[in-house]
A = this chain, B = another copy of it.
Amino acid sequence: MSITTARAVTASPWAASPAPTTPQAWVRRAEEVAAILEVDAVERDRALATPYDEVRLLKQAGLVTLLGPRAQGGGGQSWQTAYQVIRRVAEGDGSIGQLLGYHYLWSQLPAFYGNPGQTEQIAATATRERWFFGGAVNPRDADLVAVDTGDDLMFSGAKTFSTGSKVSDVTWLEAAIDGHEHHVFALAPSDHPGITFHDGWDALGQRLTESGSVTVQDVVLPWSAALGWLDKEFRPRVYNTLALPAIQLVFTSFYLGIATGGLRTALAYTRERTRPWPYGGDDRERGVDEPYVLDAYGDLQSKLWAAEALADRAAEAIEELHLDPDGLTPRARGEVAVLVAAAKQRAVDVGLEIGTRVYEVTGARATSSDVGLDRFWRNVRTHSLHDPIAYKRREVGLFALLDEVPEPTWYT
C-alpha cells in the first residue's frame, strides 16, 4: 500500500518546540491548539468550510500521532491521555474535537481487530506518514458491498455518513461481503479515484465534521488489507469488543469538551458584558454580583466537574483493560461499557443544560448571532443523538437491577 499525504504543510506554531513527552505536556499542547481553534470557531462554523487547515494544525501539533509508536515519531501515549486531548480540543471547536476523536478510533482499529502483523504495520506507516484517518462506516446498513475477486476485494456502493473522510489521508471502507456473516474493514487512500465524497452535511451542530455521504466505485484492495481476516475467514480477537466502549467514551470526551467550552465562553461574557438588573432587586453595580448568576454558575460548574470525574474514572477503567488485551473477559468489558454508558449520560445532560442555561446568565444581547453562544447547545444536541440516550439509561439500569452487562453491539 502506498499512500502519501497530499496536503501542503505550512509553518507550524510548534516548529521550534520539542515534542511533548508527558501526558501533562500533551494536554497543554492540546490547550494551545484549542486556543488557536477558538479564535474563529464561530465564523468557521457558520461558513461550513471544510477544515483542511484545522487538520493540518492537528498534525503540526503532533496530536494526530499521539497514540503512534515513539519509534516512528509518535507520542506513544495511552488512551487516557487521548481522552483528555480530545476534551481540550473540543473545548476550542467541537467539530475538530470530534474529528480527532474519530481519527483516534479509526487509527487504532487495527489494534482492536487486526492481526498482529496488520496492527504493527499500519501503526508504523500511519505514524511515520502522519495519516489522518476517516471512515465510511455504518454497520447498520449494507449499502457498500465487497466482492471477492480471488486475491482481492472489490468495493462498490455508498455510505450515508463518512465522518472525516474528506479531510483524511486514508479511509476505512466497511462493507458487507457475500457469503460471510461479518462485514469487512479495509483501508483505502482517500484520494483513490473510485471514492467520491459528497457535500451535503448541513446539520444543526458539529457542522465541520464532514459527515456527508460517500460513493465507492470499483475500489480494489488486497485480501491482506481486510482487518482481522486470515485465509478469508474473520478471526477476531476478544479484544475487538473493546472498541465499542472506547467509541462511546470518545463521544463523551468531546461532549465534555464542548460543555467546558460553553461554560468558559459564557463566564467570560458575563464578566465582561453582563449588566446587573436595575428593577425589583437589590441595586448592584456589576452583573457578576447578581445572586442568580452566581447560583446558576455554581450549579453548572459542579455538575460539569462531576461528569468529568466520572468520565475520568471510566477512562482509568478502560485503560486497565487496554493494558491486558488478551485477559479481556466479556464481564470486564461489560462493566466498563456500563460505566461509560453512565458517563455519557452525565456528559450529555450537563452539556445540554449548560448549552441552554448559559443564556440566562449572559443576557439578551448574548443572543446576537456574532456571539455564537448557541454552538455549544447545537453541538451537544446533535451528536448526543448518535444512539438513543434512553438505551444508555437502560443499560445502566439492567446492570444495577439485574447485574447484567450489555451484549457487545455496535452501540454498547
Binding site for B on A (CB under 8 A): 140, 202-205, 263, 267, 270-271, 277-282, 288, 290-303, 305-307, 309-310, 312-313, 339, 341-343, 345-346, 352, 356, 359-360, 363-364, 366-370, 373-374, 377-378, 381-382, 385-402, 406-407, 409-412
CA gap between A366 and B382 in the complex, in Å: 9
Q: Contacts A313-B309, A385-B367 known; A298 to B267 CB distance under 8 Å?
A: no
CB of B204 within 8 A of CB of A367, answer yes
Q: Contacts A280-B394, A293-B397 known; A369 to B203 CB distance under 8 Å?
A: yes
Which residue on B lies nearest to A275, using beta carbons? B140
Q: Contacts A267-B401, A374-B204, A397-B294 known; A280 to B412 CB distance under 8 Å?
A: yes
CA gap between A364 and B202 in the complex, in Å: 13
Q: List 27 A-B contacts (CB under 8 A).
A: A202-B368, A202-B370, A204-B367, A277-B391, A291-B295, A292-B295, A292-B388, A293-B401, A294-B394, A295-B393, A297-B400, A298-B395, A299-B345, A299-B396, A301-B396, A301-B397, A301-B399, A302-B341, A302-B345, A305-B313, A312-B313, A359-B381, A360-B389, A360-B390, A367-B382, A374-B378, A374-B381
CA gap between A346 and B402 in the complex, in Å: 26
Within 8 Å by CB of A410, from B271, B279, B288, lies B279
Give chain B residues whose Cβ lies under 8 Å from the Cβ of A267: 400-401
Which residue on B lies nearest to A344, using beta carbons? B302
Give chain B residues whose Cβ lies under 8 Å from the Cβ of A394: 280-281, 291, 294-295, 298
Residue among A277, A291, A293, A302 facing the most chain B CB atoms (10 A cut-off)? A302
CA gap between A341 and B386 in the complex, in Å: 32
Give chain B residues whose Cβ lies under 8 Å from the Cβ of A310: 302, 305-306, 309-310
Q: Please list the 9 inter-chain residue pairs (A to B) with the smallest Cβ-Cβ separation, ordered nearest first.
A: A298-B397, A298-B393, A294-B397, A292-B390, A309-B309, A298-B396, A302-B342, A291-B291, A297-B397
Give chain B residues whose Cβ lies under 8 Å from the Cβ of A306: 306-307, 309-310, 342-343, 346
CB of A392 within 8 A of CB of B298, answer yes
Q: How far is the CB of A95 from chain B (nearest CB, A)?
A: 13
Give chain B residues whose Cβ lies under 8 Å from the Cβ of A300: 400
Which residue on B lies nearest to A374, using beta carbons? B204
Q: How far is the CB of A62 from chain B (nearest CB, A)?
A: 28
Q: Contacts A298-B396, A309-B306 known; A356 to B381 CB distance under 8 Å?
A: yes
Within 8 Å by CB of A385, from B270, B307, B364, B392, lies B364
Q: Contacts A280-B412, A313-B309 known; A288 to B402 CB distance under 8 Å?
A: yes
Q: How far is the CB of A108 from chain B (nearest CB, A)?
A: 23
Which residue on B lies nearest to A363, using beta carbons? B385
CB of B401 within 8 A of CB of A294, answer yes
Which residue on B lies nearest to A409, using beta carbons? B279
CB of B391 within 8 A of CB of A280, answer yes
Residue among A352, A364, A406 facing the most chain B CB atoms (10 A cut-off)? A364
CB of A280 within 8 A of CB of B360, answer no
Give chain B residues whose Cβ lies under 8 Å from the Cβ of A299: 345, 393, 396-397
